[in-house]
Amino acid sequence: MSQLVVVDGDIVDVEEAHVSVLDRANLFGDGLYEVIRCYSGCLFELATHVSRILEGAKALGILHDWTSESVELAARRLQAETGIMEGEMYIQLSRGPAVRTHYFPKIQSPTMFITLSPVRPIPEGARTVGTSVITCPDMRHGWCHLKTVNLLSNCLAKEKAARHGVWEGLMLRGLDRSALPRTVEEYCDVPGELSGARPGDDVAGWVTEGASANLFVVKDRRIATPPACNILPGVTRRIALELAELAGLDAEERPVAAKELLTADEVFLTSTIGEIMPVVNIDGHLVGAGEPGPITKRLAEMYTDRVASAVCQ
């Protein structure tokens, strides 16, 4: 069976799905998106994701007739029609097509489409043995709290990670340098920003997040994650903080200096697809003992239980 998608409320074959070349998501990145994990046919935290995209649309002044109920209904209809049980759903809402002008059109015709595909593979052992990451400059705009489709900088960070054979690119701001890279090669092919540093060095800058994940560091059993400023505060990030509180762990939101990555006992990432993923190597430096730590393992187990509980409802 060909892939089914929802376009403006109608379920059609992907070959019949059309979005205008003048859509402002295409011309200006003027749109928002969400990614939702489907476990055993259950769209995990669907209401939370739908609420976020509609709140983002309000913040950006995207005028539409969608409600939480109608978006959730369309999402569930698509899952039922496709029959995909283990997958990832993508929802995109844009300001829609208009004559190409930078200012917003007086009359908006927003576009929403929803896709559901089998879940992308995670590297074998990434959640149990741990994964490696590389650091890179954060060149994004200042509205990172909105999940917009302006993802070129995120794509560059992912490309850098791929070229170096690691899972994720961690983005740093406030670096001690006179200019940012000007070509893909200058950005992607050079070593990570911390590759030449040693624990204890006074490294400039602070970490914001990964290209597609939020970051947590653990030191002396205390958990820290960058605050919701110049980051996208993810749904899985929120759940991880809730689980830490339930477990009686000390967790806080605060700026995380880049140099902390070199001395952390544990580091882990959170994301819809990657869930809670331990990081054991950053720019060639082992994190702790080079294996997932007890706090990361505990939170990952609790997350698995949370998912199981939601699926069984």
Q: Please give the structure tokens belonging to residue 149.
A: 């489709």
Is the full-model pTM beyond 0.85? yes
CATH of domain 4-118: 3.30.470.10
Q: What was the pLDDT predicted at 177?
A: 85
CB 216 within 8 A of CB 270: yes
**Dihedral-angle region of residue 117 (phi above 0 means left; psi in -120 to 50 means alpha; beta otherwise):** beta
Mean pLDDT of the chain: 95
Average pLDDT over residues 241-264: 98
Catalytic residue flag (residue 147): yes
d(CA 90, CA 153): 20
- Rounded Cα gap, residues 137 and 149, in angstroms: 19
Residue 229 pLDDT class (50, 70, 90 cuts): confident
Confidence bin at 180 (pLDDT 50/70/90): confident
Domain range annotation of the chain: 4-118, 131-312
Q: What is the pLDDT of residues 34-55, one digit of tens each?
A: 999 999 999 999 999 999 999 9
Candidates 147, 158, 160, 259; catalytic one: 147
* pLDDT band per the 50, 70, 90 thresholds, residue 124: confident
> What would the mean pLDDT of 136-146 be, rounded to a whole number?
92
| CA–CA dist 13, 15 (Å, integer) | 5
Question: Per residue in 62-76, pLDDT tens?
Answer: 999 999 999 999 999
- Is residue 207 within a helix (H) or strand (E), and if so which, with residue range? strand 206-210
Confidence check: pLDDT of 173 > 80: yes
CATH for 131-312? 3.20.10.10
DSSP one-letter string for 268-284:
EEEETTTEEEEEEEETT
Question: What pairs with residue 286 in β-bridges?
Answer: 281
Cα–Cα distance, 113 to 84 (Å, whole number): 17
